[in-house]
């Protein structure tokens, strides 16, 4: 009886400790840039497998979408972290005097691609010069400026992209934007074999799928930021190299329209193209950023006329939370 009593007391004590630990977890809301998909897999992995919990975090992932403005909600303090798009978005905060800072870059390569049909003489990005290309309004203010500066593209080539594959599928000469992890699969499903050109492999060096935080959080609660970054890195490592089943189940719960086939394609595309684990991430860890690369991106944007040369672009990011080799072992 005495031994049973001790065991019962021990179990009760452990229950109190566990309850206390759960109560002590910091609640965090993270906003993504679109509906749930494999491109968000590392975050879902960290939720589904308890990685965030292990780092003392209770994380809620808030999916984005066409009517959701997470950058605005981040700036207003309504969410704690946001998934940034690319280097332009980060520097735009500085240009607009919005106190938001990029603390990590999960994608070392921007997954942005241009897609053409086979048999049309398209072999590389340079071969698209002068051809009509369907791109979005946002793209015109971002990577299109790089294409003009680096490859001599002109605004006369721009055609409106409506996020509908119909016009591309109907016209063998059509060229459109896309993500290497998404549109090529959807196009192939329609019986068309696309020519896919990854802009990152053609010199476009913007970081992508970043983690953004408010400047006041970075200054006042760096421990929380570090834990979120580290746990996210581990989540991405495990999602791409381990079993993504639990994460994919959460993704499908948040986005019932996504299929297992699409998830598998996206994971394979991220791995084969080195979207997450390439370049500096190989030695510094997932999420890596460097001053040299930010400077290169900014200098190219200045050359393209996007920003004035005297803009304090270094205020857009901090290296304090990355490059620590987290997840490499």
Over the stretch 166-224, which tens digit does the pLDDT of each residue have? 999 999 999 999 999 999 999 999 999 999 999 999 999 999 999 999 999 999 999 99
Q: What is the pLDDT of residue 11?
A: 45
Query: Which of 202, 217, 245 marks a domain boundary?
Result: 202
pTM of the model: 0.91
Q: Answer whether residue 77 is part of any domain.
A: yes
The answer to whether residue 326 sits within a structural domain is: no
Are residues 212 and 311 both part of a single domain? yes
Whether 212 and 198 map to the same domain: the answer is: no
Decide which of 202, 226, 261 is a domain's last residue. Answer: 202
Domain check: are 93 and 154 in the same one?
Answer: no
Non-local CB neighbours of 195 within 8 Å, separated by 6+ positions: 115, 116, 117, 118, 120, 122, 123
- Please tell me whether residues 174 and 257 are part of one structural domain: no
pLDDT above 70 (res 23): no
H-helix or E-strand spanning residue 53: helix 51-54
Do 131 and 186 belong to one domain?
A: yes
Same domain, 172 and 306: no
Chain centroid to CA 57: how far? Answer: 20
For residue 136, the enclosing domain spans 112-202
pLDDT at residue 122, as a whole number: 98
Number of domains, the chain: 2
140 in any annotated domain: yes
* Averaged pLDDT score across all residues of the chain: 93
CATH number, domain with residue 280: 3.40.190.10
Rounded Cα–Cα distance for residues 221 and 140 (Å) = 36
Q: Can you tell me the mean pLDDT for 16-45?
A: 83
Q: b or e along 17-40 (b: 16 or more beta carbons within 10 Å of the residue's beta carbon)?
A: eeeeeeeeebebbbbbbbbbbbbb
Q: How many whole angstroms separate alpha carbon 174 and alpha carbon 233? A: 38
pLDDT for the residue numbered 240: 98
DSSP state of 317: B
The pLDDT value recorded for residue 76 is 95
Same domain for 91 and 210, yes or no, is yes
Q: Which of 202, 221, 251 is the last residue of a domain?
A: 202
Whether residue 2 is contained in a domain is answered as: no
Contact 45, 51 (CB under 8 A): yes
Residues 210 and 195 in one domain: no
In the predicted structure, residue 21 carries a pLDDT above the cut 90? no
Which is it for strands 176-179 and 112-117: parallel, antiparallel or unpaired? antiparallel
Shared domain for 100 and 243, answered yes or no, is yes
Does some domain include residue 226?
Answer: yes
Domain for residue 14, yes or no?
no
Residues 302 and 219 occupy one common structural domain: yes
Exposed, middle or buried, 123 (CB in 10 Å: 0-12/13-18/19+)? exposed
Looking up residue 174, the CATH number of its domain turns out to be 3.40.190.120
pLDDT at 12 over 50: no
**Is 36 found in the same domain as 157?**
no
Provide the pLDDT for residue 20.
Answer: 46
Q: Is residue 62 part of a domain?
A: yes
Domain shared by 217 and 194, yes or no: no
**18 within some domain:** no
User: What is the C-alpha separation between 43 and 210, in angstroms, rounded?
Assistant: 12
């Amino acid at each position: 009886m005495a031994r049973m009593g001790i065991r019962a007391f021990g179990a009760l004590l452990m229950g109190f400790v566990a309850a206390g630990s759960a109560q002590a977890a910091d609640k965090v809301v993270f906003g993504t840039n679109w509906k749930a998909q494999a491109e968000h897999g590392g975050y879902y992995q960290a939720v589904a497998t308890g990685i965030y919990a292990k780092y003392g975090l209770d994380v809620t992932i808030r999916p984005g979408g066409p009517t959701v403005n997470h950058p605005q909600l981040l700036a207003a303090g309504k969410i704690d972290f946001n998934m940034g798009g690319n280097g332009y978005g980060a520097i735009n905060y500085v240009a607009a005097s919005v106190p938001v800072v990029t603390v990590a870059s999960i994608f070392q390569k921007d997954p942005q691609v241009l897609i053409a049909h086979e048999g049309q003489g398209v072999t590389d990005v340079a071969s698209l010069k002068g051809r009509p290309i369907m791109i979005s309004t946002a793209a015109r203010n971002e990577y299109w400026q790089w294409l003009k500066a680096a490859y001599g593209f002109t605004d006369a080539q721009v055609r409106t992209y409506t996020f509908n594959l119909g016009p591309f599928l109907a016209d063998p000469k059509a060229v459109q934007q896309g993500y290497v992890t998404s549109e090529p699969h959807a196009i192939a499903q329609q019986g068309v074999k696309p020519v896919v050109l990854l802009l990152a492999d053609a010199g476009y060096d913007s970081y992508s799928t970043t983690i953004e935080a408010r400047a006041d959080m970075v200054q006042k609660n760096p421990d929380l930021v570090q834990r979120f970054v580290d746990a996210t890195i581990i989540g991405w490592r495990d999602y791409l190299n381990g079993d993504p089943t639990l994460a994919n189940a959460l993704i499908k719960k948040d986005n019932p329209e996504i299929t297992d086939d699409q998830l598998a394609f996206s994971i394979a595309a991220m791995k084969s193209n080195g979207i997450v684990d390439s370049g500096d991430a190989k030695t510094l860890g997932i999420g890596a950023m460097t001053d040299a690369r930010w400077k290169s991106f900014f200098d190219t944007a200045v050359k393209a006329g996007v920003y004035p040369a005297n803009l304090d672009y270094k205020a857009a990011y901090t290296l304090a939370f990355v490059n620590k080799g987290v997840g490499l072992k």
